[in-house]
Structure 1
Amino acid sequence: MVNALGLVEYLKVPTGMMAADKMSKTSNIDIIHAATVCPGKYIVLFKGNLSDVKAAIEGGTIGFEHNVIDSFLLGNPTEQIYGAISGSTSVEIKGAVGIVESYSVASIIEAADIAAKTSAVTLVEVRLARGMCGKSFFIINGELSAVEMSVENAKKHLMESGMLLDSAVIASPSPNFIENLY
C-alpha cells in the first residue's frame, strides 16, 4: 500500500544520482521523479509505504549530508499532488486562483499538500524549480474563501521554515490570464 511520499534535494547532480540509485536498491520505493532542477540541483521524489519511504530518505541522506539541501517525508499525501507535479492535471479554472512560491522544492510540495487538505480546492500545478533558479510554486483553484484559507495555511507553514517567498490570490481571473496560466 502506497501511503507516503518522500523527497531528497541535492546540491550536486552526480551525488543525487548516486543517492537515487542507492535508495532504489535498498528500499522498496517507486521513484516518480528524479531530475536536474535549477540551479543545477538534483531531486529525487518517490513513493511507497511509510517505512520504506523513511528508510529511503535515511539511505539517501546518510553519507551524503554535505550535499543534501532539503528532504521530507509526507504521510498520506493528497492524491492531487501526483498529477499536479507531473503536469498531467487538466482543470477548468472556475472561481479564484491562489499561487504560493517558496525557496525550495521540498517545502513547496509540503505546502501544496497542506493547501489541498485545508479546504475544497483543486491543486492545478506544482512547479518544481524548472527554470526558476531553484524556487518553486503551486497553483490552486476554487471558491474565493477556500483558496484564501488554503493559501494562508500554506504560507504559515512556509513562514515557519523560512521558505516563503511570495503569494497571491486572484479573486476573479480574466479569461485571457487563465488561457496562459500554465
Structure 2
Amino acid sequence: MSVSIGLIELTSIPVGYETVDAMLKAANVELLRAAPSCPGKYLVVIAGNVGSVATACAAAERTASKKAILCRAINHLADSVADALKQASRDVKVKSLGCVETRTGLGAILIADHLVKAGRIDLMSIRIAQGIGGKGYVNFTGEIAAVNTAIAACIAKCDDPKLIMSTCAIATPHPDLVAHIR
C-alpha cells in the first residue's frame, strides 16, 4: 500500500477538535478516525500521500502543543496493518500467539507496522484504547521463532522505550484462549 498515515493522541478533547481542523485545512488528507477514548484522551488517524501526511502532522504538532501525547507519521503502511485497522479481528490459523501491549492507543498501530515489517507474522487484531485505560495492544500469530523475532526486532526499533509495556509469545496456545482473543 502506498498510503501513509498520521497519528496523534491528545490529552484534551477540545484541543483534539482544533487539531483535526488544522490538519484537514493544512493538507489534502482523509480523516479515518477522530474520537474520544478513555481516559479522557482524543485519538486522530489520517491518511494520504507522504507529503500531505507530513504537512498535516506538522500542523497537528503546532496546534496541539503540550496536549499531544504522540504525533507520528508512518510512511508506506504495511497492507496487513491497514487491513487489521479496518476489521475488529482477522480470521487466521493461530500457530503461536504473540501480543504486544502499548502505553498509548495509537502506539499499537506503530508497533503493528514494526511487527509486520520485522518478521513473518500474521496480524490478528489491533485494539486501540477503548476500555483498557487508554492503552493499546496487538495480537499476532506465526511460527514461535517468527513471533519471538518480530517482538525482539520491534523492541529494538521502537524509538520510545516507554511505549511498549509488556509482551508475550506463547507456543501452541490452548484453543479456548485463542477463541476468547478474536
- TM-score, normalising length from structure 1? 0.92
Structure 1 unaligned spans of 5+: none
Matched residue of 1:62: which SS?
helix
Change (3 A) 1:149 1:76: same
8 Å contact from structure 1 (residues 83, 89) kept in 2:
no
Change (3 A) 1:84 1:143: same
Q: Which residue of 1 aligns with 2:94?
A: 94
Q: How many residue pairs get matched?
A: 182
Q: How many angstroms apart in 2 are the aligned matches of 1:146 and 1:12?
A: 39
2:135 is the counterpart of 1:135 = yes
Matched residue of 1:100: which SS?
strand
8 Å contact from structure 1 (residues 71, 106) kept in 2:
no
Q: CA shift at 1:137, angstroms?
A: 0.7
Pairs within 5 Å for 1:69-148 = 69-148=69-148
Q: CA shift at 1:106, angstroms?
A: 3.5
8 Å contact from structure 1 (residues 100, 155) kept in 2:
no
Q: Which residue of 1 aligns with 2:13?
A: 13
Q: How many angstroms apart in 2 are the aligned matches of 1:159 and 1:173?
A: 30
Letter in 2 for 1:94: V
8 Å contact from structure 1 (residues 102, 158) kept in 2:
no
Percent of aligned pairs with the same residue? 25
Matched residue of 1:133: which SS?
coil
Q: Which residue of 2 aligns with 1:153?
A: 153
Matched residue of 2:81: which SS?
helix
Listed one character per residue, the Cα deviations across residues 131-160 of structure 1 (whole Å, up to 9, x for unaligned) are 111111101111111111111122233474
Structure 2 unaligned spans of 5+: none
Q: CA shift at 1:84, angstroms?
A: 1.7
Pairs within 5 Å for 1:59-74 = 59-74=59-74
Range with greater deviation from structure 2 (76-85 or 151-160): 151-160
Change (3 A) 1:94 1:109: same
Q: Which runs of 4+ in 1 moved over 6 A?
A: none
Q: How many angstroms apart in 2 are the aligned matches of 1:14 and 1:63?
A: 11
8 Å contact from structure 1 (residues 72, 106) kept in 2:
no
Listed one character per residue, the Cα deviations across residues 74-94 of structure 1 (whole Å, up to 9, x for unaligned) are 111101112222334422232
Q: How many angstroms apart in 1 are the aligned matches of 2:35 and 2:156?
A: 28
Letter in 2 for 1:170: I
